[in-house]
Amino acid sequence: MPGSMTANWRWNFLITGSKMKTVRSIKQMQKLARQYAGQKMTIGLVPTMGFLHDGHLSLIRRARKLTDVVITSVFVNPTQFGPGEDFKAYPRDEKKDIRNIASAGGDIVFIPKAEDMYTDDFQTYVAVEEITKGLEGSSRPTHFRGVTTIVSKLFNIVRPDVAVFGMKDYQQAQVIRRMIRDLNYPIKLMLAPTVREKDGVAMSSRNSYFTPAQRPDAVCVYAALKTARTMITRDGVDDPAVLRREMKKVIGSICPSAQIDYIAYTDFDLLTPVKRITKNCICSLAVRVHGIRLIDNMKMR
Structural domain contains residue 282: yes
Structural domain contains residue 134: yes
Q: Are residues 153 and 282 in the same domain?
A: no
Torsion angle (degrees, nearest 10) of CA 112, 117, 119, 124: 180
How many structural domains is the chain composed of?
2
State the CATH number of the domain containing residue 73. Answer: 3.40.50.620
Q: Are residues 65 and 180 in the same domain?
A: yes
Domain end: 140, 162, 192, which one? 192
- Closest listed residue to residue 66, CA positions, set 156, 155, 161: 161
Q: Alpha-carbon distance 241 to 227, whole Å? A: 14
pLDDT per residue rounded down to tens, the chain (301 residues): 454 444 554 455 445 445 799 999 999 999 999 999 999 999 999 999 999 999 999 999 999 999 999 999 999 999 999 999 999 999 999 999 999 999 999 999 999 999 999 999 999 999 999 999 999 999 999 999 999 999 999 999 999 999 999 999 999 999 999 999 999 999 999 999 999 999 999 999 999 999 999 999 999 999 999 999 999 999 999 999 999 999 999 999 999 999 999 999 999 999 999 999 999 999 999 999 999 999 999 999 8
At 17, the amino acid letter reads G
State the CATH number of the domain containing residue 240. Answer: 3.30.1300.10
Q: Which residues are catalytic?
A: 56
Structural domain contains residue 198: no
Single pTM value for the model: 0.92
